[in-house]
Amino acid sequence: MTVAPDAVIDLLDRTPRVLRAMLEGLGEDALHATYGPDTFSPFDALAHLVESERSDWMPRVRHLLKHGVEAPFQPFDRYAHFEAHAHASVDELLDAFAAARRASLEDLRSLAPTPDDLRRLGLHPRLGEVTLAQLLATWAVHDLNHTAQIARGLAASHADAVGPWRSYLGILNAPTTPMDAEGVSRKQAAMRDRARSSG
Total domains present in the chain: 1
CATH number for the domain that contains residue 49 = 1.20.120.450
Q: How do the pLDDT tens digits run along the chain, 199 residues long?
A: 578 899 999 999 999 999 999 999 999 999 999 999 999 999 999 999 999 999 999 999 999 999 999 999 999 999 999 999 989 999 999 999 999 999 999 999 999 999 999 999 999 999 999 999 999 999 999 999 999 999 999 999 999 999 999 999 999 999 888 999 999 999 999 989 888 887 6
Domain that holds residue 44: 5-198
Beta-bridged to residue 128, according to DSSP, are 124
**pTM of the full structure:** 0.94
Distance CA 181, CA 199 (A): 27
DSSP reduced 3-state for 185: helix
Beta carbons of 132 and 69 less than 8 angstroms apart: no
